[in-house]
Structure 1
Amino acid sequence: MTSPEATHPWGRVAEDGTVYLRTADGERQIGQWPGGEPAEAIALYAKRFDGLEIEVDLLEKRLAGGTLGPDDAERAIATVREQVEGAAALGDLDSLLARLDALAPALQKLRDERKAAKEARLAEALAAKKRIVETAEKLAAGTDWRNGADKLRALLEEWKALARLDRKTDDELWHRFSAARTTYTRLRKTHFADVHADRERAKSTKEKLIAEAESLSSSTEWGPTSTKYRDLMTRWKAAGSAPRNVEDALWKRFRSAQDVFFAARDAANAAQDEEFRANAVVKEEILAEAEKLLPIKDLDAARKAMAGIADRWEAAGKVPRDRVKDLEGRLRAVESAIRSAGEKEWKRTDPEKSARADDMVAKLEKAITDLEAELAAAQAAGNAKKVKDIEETLASRRSFLDMALKAAADFGA
């Protein structure tokens, strides 16, 4: 006994168990369900359609969400399309194919976006790599030996993180970058080799200076040896730096030798200063006598007194170093006052200047006599303008005569 026919919106199960799908072109046999319940067949083939519909839904969502690349999306569409076309399922398969067709614009948009993003990424990578190369070349041409190596390592890490360009461009830029790194590394090694050689030479030089300093440390020739130590210090500074692990030790030895000498010198000077304190007392007494000559009233007497003071000053001997400037300064002040007074007196009695002053007086007196005669003649002639001019000139000449007479009086005093 055959089962009755069962229907579905998109197909049917015939009485003999044949399963048909209804399409736009008519019915298509999609399977057999002999001896079973038609409703079960319909449920099975409808469920298959639901599975295909889920695949299409999922593909649409993944494409819209950008979780698929263009190539992966194209392969996925082709796979689902293959599953839908000729599928043994009950449902609107044509609508699923139409939905797959509708994904073409989205797929093209995705391709365009990915292409634009890639082009932007490549343009960014090109700009970054050019910058890296130019920076590396500047480092190679510079002398930043301390930080340059770290900077180049950072540039290399940045390069590795960038997208590859077309082979020709990428290779050209990499060659420049690599050449700059090689040049910098070579020059840096040369620099530090030179620095090492210079430091070794400085070490050798400073060891010799230490030997000289140590040989002088017991000297008691305070002045000449102090000068020699100053020369040694100048040569030490000019020698440059020794290797870091020995520079401090060398300096301590050099400084220690100096300290020995200068400590001995200071001790000797301190003892000598104590001995000279009595001389300072004597010189203070001499200074008190000298300062009584100020202000200078009698130049000859002051000069005579100062000559004796100078002799006793020298005979008094040396004074402590901390008193020299004060005591010598006070004596120089008295000597300066006497010298200034002498210069002033010489200027006042200078014969040549006195003669010039007398000559000026004579000339002015004659000029005034002549002007007085001219004035009398002008007054007699009634020439008022000429009288006024002559009177003005006379006033000026008489003023000059007064000054000349005063100057002549000063020279004759």
Structure 2
Amino acid sequence: MGEATEAWGRVAEDGTVYVRTADGERQVGSWAAGSPDEALAYYQRKFDGLKVEVDLIANRLKQSGPSAPSPKDALDKIGKLRESISGANAVGDLEGLLARLDGLVELAEQRKAEHRAVREQQQAEARGAKQALAEEAERLAASTEWRVAGDRMKVLLDEWKAAPRLDRKTDDELWHRLSQARSAFAKRRKQHFAELDAQRVEIRAHKEQLIAEAEALQDSTDWNPTAGRFRDLMSEWKTAGRAQRDVEDELWKRFKAAQDTFFAARNAILDERNGAERENLAAKELLVVEAEALLPITDHRAARTALRSLNERWEAIGPVPRDARQRIEGRLHTVDRAVAEAEAAELSRKDPEKRARAEATVEQLRTVLEKLQVQADKARAAGQEKKAAEAEASIAARQEWLAEAEKALAEFTR
């Protein structure tokens, strides 16, 4: 067998394979079959395998997030790789790989310190979060918003359970504060509702008295004073508070039944008294329909004469129910305004100053259009297409203005 050499090793004539190191050559194996170059390639592939493992851990140490290896695992892997590389039967820059491992040890230690800092930060955040939960629970312990505070206490408990655990001493201290606050709130709430139950018993008794008086008044025919007293009873009912839930509705039914009995009887009497006013309303409805038939106003003089006659008949009819008065009179006033506006428009059309201004505007626009047409014709003849187009655009705009001005002037000649 011949010899084969390269930068990091050689194969002797007897097939012995050596790797070159800073301390000299070291035997890494022997080769009997094949050429010396094949022997070197074989041991170089072993080196390449070690290099791949170093590259892999180097790349993983560069990663961040959940996929990154733990620093402890990385250091363990580096130690095992160092042992493998130090006595490796491979040809290549083994000392370079060991130097790279030294650098990776520093990186792993850095990652270890970073992980420690992250854990400390997480613990600090968890401590702050749990302290905030305990403090909020202590504030809520004095609340009288029983439903809202009670619901929030439940949320605080859920958030506590979801938060990371702290060291046992700190975690127990903060939990004790939260638990005490919840217990204090629950005790106050229980006491509050016990007092509330006692108050509702008193409220029920008060409402029973109101019902008794309402039932005594329900057949009264002294309409105005009794109606006033029923209003007072209703005010007392509203301010009395609520009795127990299972009796409140029944109490209200009894009270309302007495109230409805009285007001139904009173309303029947008032309906009889209001019969004449309802007849007046029907008559005025007919007059309003007759007045609205004048719209739109085409002859303001005839409309004014007709409206004057309508007003005389209107006054002769008499009052209508109060709840319909504004509506019915509003409809008649609408017709009256339309007649007044037609009269004002007629006066405006006869104003000589406004007519003169309208004539002047029309004449001015016609003069401008004639000048613009001359400019457009000259530009077109001279081949100045852009200038001609601009002039024609101005002509089109002013023709629209002229049409509006002529329309306004025509109003003075109707």
Query: How would you bin the TM-score normalised by the shorter chain?
Result: 0.5 to 0.7
Alignment check: 8 A CA contact 2:78 2:105 kept = no
Rounded to whole Å, the distance in 1 between the matches of 2:86 and 2:257 is: 101
Rounded to whole Å, the distance in 2 between the matches of 1:139 and 1:156 is: 13
Residue 214 (1) aligns with residue 215 (2): yes
- Per the TM alignment, residue 142 of structure 1 is displaced from its structure 2 partner at its CA by 1.7
- Per the TM alignment, residue 175 of structure 1 is displaced from its structure 2 partner at its CA by 1.1
- Per the TM alignment, residue 163 of structure 1 is displaced from its structure 2 partner at its CA by 3.9
Rounded to whole Å, the distance in 2 between the matches of 1:227 and 1:102 is: 97
Alignment check: 8 A CA contact 1:12 1:20 kept = yes
CA distances 1:179-216 after superposition (whole Å, capped 9, x unpaired)? 21222233334434544554465456535643553354
Rounded to whole Å, the distance in 1 between the matches of 2:213 and 2:250 is: 16
Relative distance call for 1:208 and 1:48 in structure 2 (3 A) is farther
Rounded to whole Å, the distance in 2 between the matches of 1:229 and 1:53 is: 100
- Per the TM alignment, residue 171 of structure 1 is displaced from its structure 2 partner at its CA by 1.4
Relative distance call for 1:272 and 1:5 in structure 2 (3 A) is closer
Letter in 1 for 2:52: I
Q: 1:11 aligns with which of 9, 12, 17?
A: 9
Rounded to whole Å, the distance in 1 between the matches of 2:85 and 2:55 is: 13
The answer for the alignment partner of 1:50 in structure 2 is 48
Rounded to whole Å, the distance in 2 between the matches of 1:101 and 1:271 is: 111
The answer for the alignment partner of 2:263 in structure 1 is 262
CA distances 1:131-159 after superposition (whole Å, capped 9, x unpaired)? 22111101012212121123223333443
Relative distance call for 1:210 and 1:165 in structure 2 (3 A) is same
Alignment check: 8 A CA contact 2:207 2:237 kept = yes
Matches within 5 A, 1:319-398: none
Rounded to whole Å, the distance in 1 between the matches of 2:23 and 2:254 is: 110
Q: 2:24 aligns with which of 15, 23, 26?
A: 26
Rounded to whole Å, the distance in 1 between the matches of 2:39 and 2:190 is: 84
Matches within 5 A, 1:48-127: 48-66=46-64, 67-127=68-128
Matches within 5 A, 1:190-209: 190-196=191-197, 198-199=199-200, 202-203=203-204, 205-206=206-207, 209=210
The answer for the alignment partner of 2:167 in structure 1 is 166
Give me the CA root mean square deviation.
3.4
Task: Tell me how many residue pairs correspond in the alignment.
Answer: 273
- 1:100 alignment partner, SS class: helix
- 1:141 alignment partner, SS class: coil
Rounded to whole Å, the distance in 2 between the matches of 1:73 and 1:273 is: 100
Using the size of structure 1 for normalisation, the TM-score is 0.56
Rounded to whole Å, the distance in 1 between the matches of 2:202 and 2:221 is: 32
Percent of aligned pairs with the same residue?
A: 54
Q: Which structure: larger Rg?
A: 1
- Per the TM alignment, residue 46 of structure 1 is displaced from its structure 2 partner at its CA by 0.8
Relative distance call for 1:51 and 1:230 in structure 2 (3 A) is same
Rounded to whole Å, the distance in 1 between the matches of 2:267 and 2:84 is: 109
Rounded to whole Å, the distance in 2 between the matches of 1:36 and 1:245 is: 103
The answer for the alignment partner of 2:254 in structure 1 is 253
- Per the TM alignment, residue 72 of structure 1 is displaced from its structure 2 partner at its CA by 2.6
The answer for the alignment partner of 1:141 in structure 2 is 142
Relative distance call for 1:239 and 1:6 in structure 2 (3 A) is same
The answer for the alignment partner of 1:184 in structure 2 is 185
- Per the TM alignment, residue 259 of structure 1 is displaced from its structure 2 partner at its CA by 1.9
Rounded to whole Å, the distance in 2 between the matches of 1:222 and 1:175 is: 67
Rounded to whole Å, the distance in 2 between the matches of 1:39 and 1:201 is: 109
Residue 240 (1) aligns with residue 234 (2): no
- 1:87 alignment partner, SS class: coil
Letter in 2 for 1:110: R
Alignment check: 8 A CA contact 1:17 1:36 kept = no
Rounded to whole Å, the distance in 2 between the matches of 1:80 and 1:249 is: 87
Letter in 1 for 2:182: R
Letter in 2 for 1:119: E
Relative distance call for 1:46 and 1:193 in structure 2 (3 A) is farther
- Per the TM alignment, residue 93 of structure 1 is displaced from its structure 2 partner at its CA by 0.8
Please identify, of 155-164 and 73-82, the stretch whose mean Cα deviation from structure 2 is larger.
155-164
- Per the TM alignment, residue 96 of structure 1 is displaced from its structure 2 partner at its CA by 0.5
Using the size of structure 2 for normalisation, the TM-score is 0.56
- 1:21 alignment partner, SS class: strand
Alignment check: 8 A CA contact 1:205 1:239 kept = yes
Rounded to whole Å, the distance in 1 between the matches of 2:93 and 2:272 is: 124
Matches within 5 A, 1:268-307: none
- 2:241 alignment partner, SS class: coil
- Per the TM alignment, residue 74 of structure 1 is displaced from its structure 2 partner at its CA by 1.6
- 1:147 alignment partner, SS class: helix
